């Protein structure tokens, strides 16, 4: 038996013994997702137990180094673990912008002290992070951001406004792009970390077409941020931001392979039997879905071994989010009038309709599809700039 097979056996045994049965069902609503953090209310004992056990095993971040709270697994072992978790239908023990976005940036740009200070609480789900990037006047053209940090010797005083800050009202800390040099567009931005309870930080949820409010407006009014809380060099935050966006896009692209291993159509057999044109569309969707799943697998194999083009996550983000939107269009079409229900208990409080509307943001947040295509055509295809 190879080492990898031995690890597979060990991983499966541990998951079977430690993943509570309630955590082996697909997540249905937003409440089913564990985000952790200081103020997080666990939906069930099982949800807390599953996080605690994974955190103790260091498998919330299986491939981070052990010194920073990770499991120290190789890329191949981490892939085996993901596959075993998928087979047992284990829910993710912890969803976290700290794991998906800030962590990789800290691992690359953080000081040793920062890594030891910030990463373990992320791995254990103790601190929940949010991302301060977009501003009212700086969406696709993010680099035009205006939130300003004034140099006060040992700290900055930050003033300005962010928008579309996911879960800012629930987050403990923020990683934030702040202009520290007004004369220099790209090399005038710094990447700062600060506590959301710092005086001067306020958040205001934005109600979306889904009726939910996952995003906030975030206001900074004379917020003092110590100089030690910068990641990377002063005025070089754009490098960190770009690197982190790569990981964000990689994460969002994972949406396309949502839904386990079954085909979408297999869940709507009765409806499809009487609807030949819808059935045909569903069949073509399932082809796309299987293809994207395989593509994600190849991308992950290449990304983790450093073989992927550095701009490739932009392509994955485009493909994954467009597919996810299509998936939800298909769910609505197959669901018929039942899928229109907005509040009824039988519809899970309008889960289908709300999810469908939520997915429309997929191809806007984290870089629009149009921006992704711009990046792919210039950086991967090497087509000339206009």
Residues that bind another protein (CB under 8 A): 76, 262-263, 265-266, 268-269, 272-273, 279-280, 282-284, 286-288, 290-292, 294-295, 297-299, 301-302, 305, 307, 315, 318-319, 370, 372-374, 376-378, 380-386
Q: Which is nearer to another protein, 60 or 253 (CB)?
A: 253
Q: Which is nearer to another protein, 252 or 272 (CB)?
A: 272
Query: At its nearest, how many Å lie between another protein and the CB of residue 277?
Result: 13
3-state secondary structure at position 10 = helix
- Closest to 162 (Cα-Cα) out of 105, 221, 207, 118: 221
- Closest to 252 (Cα-Cα) out of 303, 321, 312: 321
What are the CA-CA distances from residue 291 to residues 255, 288, 298, 313 (Å)? 14, 5, 11, 17
- State the Cα–Cα distance between residues 285 and 259, nearest whole angstrom: 13
Query: At its nearest, how many Å lie between another protein and the CB of residue 332?
Result: 18
- State the Cα–Cα distance between residues 326 and 292, nearest whole angstrom: 13
Q: How many CA atoms lie within 13 A of 357 on its CB side?
A: 15
Q: Which is nearer to another protein, 239 or 301 (CB)?
A: 301
- State the Cα–Cα distance between residues 34 and 309, nearest whole angstrom: 32
Query: At its nearest, how many Å lie between another protein and the CB of residue 294?
Result: 4
Q: Which is nearer to another protein, 195 or 286 (CB)?
A: 286
Q: Which is nearer to another protein, 87 or 152 (CB)?
A: 87
Q: Which is nearer to another protein, 1 or 345 (CB)?
A: 1
- Closest to 193 (Cα-Cα) out of 165, 160, 232: 232
Query: At its nearest, how many Å lie between another protein and the CB of residue 291?
Result: 4
3-state secondary structure at position 305 = coil
- State the Cα–Cα distance between residues 369 and 163, nearest whole angstrom: 19
Query: At its nearest, how many Å lie between another protein and the CB of residue 145?
Result: 24
Query: At its nearest, how many Å lie between another protein and the CB of residue 78?
Result: 13
């Amino acid at each position: 038996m190879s080492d990898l097979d031995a690890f597979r056996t060990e991983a499966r045994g541990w998951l079977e013994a430690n993943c509570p049965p309630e955590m082996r069902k697909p997540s249905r609503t937003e409440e089913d997702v564990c985000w952790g953090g200081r103020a997080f209310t666990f939906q069930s004992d099982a949800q807390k137990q599953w996080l605690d056990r994974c955190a103790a095993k260091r498998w919330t971040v299986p491939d981070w180094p052990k010194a920073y709270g990770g499991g120290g697994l190789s890329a191949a072992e981490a892939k085996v673990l993901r596959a075993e978790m998928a087979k047992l239908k284990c829910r993710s023990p912890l969803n976290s912008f700290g794991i998906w976005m800030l962590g990789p940036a800290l691992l690359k740009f953080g000081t040793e002290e920062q890594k030891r200070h910030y990463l373990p609480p992320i791995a254990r789900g103790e601190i929940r992070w949010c991302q301060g990037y977009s501003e009212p006047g700086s969406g696709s053209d993010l680099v035009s951001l205006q939130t300003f940090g004034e140099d006060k010797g040992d700290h900055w005083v930050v003033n300005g406004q962010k928008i579309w800050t996911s879960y800012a009202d629930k987050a403990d800390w923020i990683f934030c792009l702040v202009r520290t040099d007004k004369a220099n567009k790209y090399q005038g931005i710094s990447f700062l970390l600060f506590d959301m309870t710092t005086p001067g930080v306020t958040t205001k949820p934005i109600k979306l077409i889904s009726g939910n409010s996952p995003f906030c407006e975030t206001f900074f009014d004379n917020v003092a941020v110590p100089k030690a809380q910068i990641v990377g060099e002063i005025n070089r935050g754009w490098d960190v931001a770009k690197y982190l966006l790569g990981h964000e896009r990689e994460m969002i692209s994972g949406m396309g392979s949502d839904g386990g291993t079954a085909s979408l159509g297999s869940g709507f057999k009765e409806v499809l039997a009487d609807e030949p044109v819808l059935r045909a569309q569903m069949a073509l969707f399932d082809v796309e879905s299987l293809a994207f799943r395989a593509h994600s697998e190849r991308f992950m194999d290449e990304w983790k071994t450093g073989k992927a083009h550095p701009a490739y996550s932009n392509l994955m983000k485009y493909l994954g989010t467009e597919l996810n939107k299509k998936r939800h269009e298909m769910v609505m079409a197959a669901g018929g009038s039942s899928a229109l229900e907005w509040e009824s208990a039988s519809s899970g409080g309008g889960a289908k309709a709300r999810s469908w509307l939520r997915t429309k943001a997929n191809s806007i947040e984290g870089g629009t599809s149009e921006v992704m295509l711009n990046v792919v055509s210039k950086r991967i295809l090497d087509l000339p700039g206009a």
